[in-house]
Amino acid sequence: MASLYFKYAAMNSGKSTQLIQTHFNYIERGLNPYAMTSILHDRDGTGVICARVGLNLKVDAFELSCNLYKLVQKKHDIKALNVVIIDEGQFLTKSQCYQLAQVVDELKIPVIVYGLKTDFRGELFEGSYHLFCLADKIEELKTICWCGNKAHMNARITQDEKVVRDGDQLEIGGNDRYIALCRKHYTKGQIKR
């Protein structure tokens, strides 16, 4: 039976590495995975999933207005899909989350979504919120704070290493703009010893 999976974590937890490995595993077994990401995620180029360990994967990029059910159905009609894999699930709209659930329920294709739980203010993204509501299976991927405790907060930082508390929710960046912290050090604004 197909399921909707949401695998979430803080920044630098290995989400992209795991996604690329999952995609490879399907191909290695002669199956047909379909991977995509939001067009909003363009840090490494549009339609590129890049892991910190050096792996990358070229995928389709979708717009916020894209009907993901219709897109997947079209691909599935051309060649049967065995899984749909989505990166940057936090950028999904409410409608797109429901469309992915429809892929599972009507097309019987498993959907695995990777993404952040919360933004730099500690608030849920729209996509993450609706994935928590709709997912059949939810898994937290772990990463650690500089202190060694579990990191589950994403702090936005300035060039002079100060934690930012206000601003637009969406600002694409990597290690130069964000750091994963435990709640204690996120609250204190302490990004290193």
In a domain, 19, yes or no: yes
Model pLDDT, residue 35: 93
pLDDT tens digit string along 19-49? 989 999 999 999 999 999 888 766 666 666 6
> Which domain, by its residues, includes 65?
4-141
Helix axis angle for 94-102 and 126-134, nearest 10°, is: 30
* C-alpha–C-alpha distance, residues 73 and 106, integer Å: 10
The reply to whether 147 falls in a domain is no
Residue 43, in any domain of the structure: yes
- Whether 45 is in a domain gets the answer yes
75 belongs to a structural domain:
yes
Active-site residue (options: 63, 88, 123, 140): 88
| Count of the separate structural domains present in the chain | 1
| Structure confidence at residue 157 (pLDDT) | 84
Q: Is residue 179 part of a domain?
A: no
Q: What was the pLDDT predicted at 138?
A: 98
The CATH code of the domain that includes 29 is: 3.40.50.300
Asked, for residue 135, whether it belongs to a domain, the answer is: yes
- Whether residue 167 lies inside any domain: the answer is no
Check pLDDT > 90 for residue 50.
Answer: no
DSSP string, 103-140: IIIII---EEEEEESB-TTS-B-HHHHHHHHH-SEEEE
Return all residues near 127 (Cβ < 8 A) that are at least 6 apart: 89, 90, 91, 92, 93, 96, 97, 115
Q: What is the pLDDT of residues 85-121, one digit of tens each?
A: 999 999 999 999 999 999 999 999 999 999 999 988 8
Tell me whether residue 161 is one of the annotated catalytic residues: no
* pLDDT (average), residues 125-131: 96
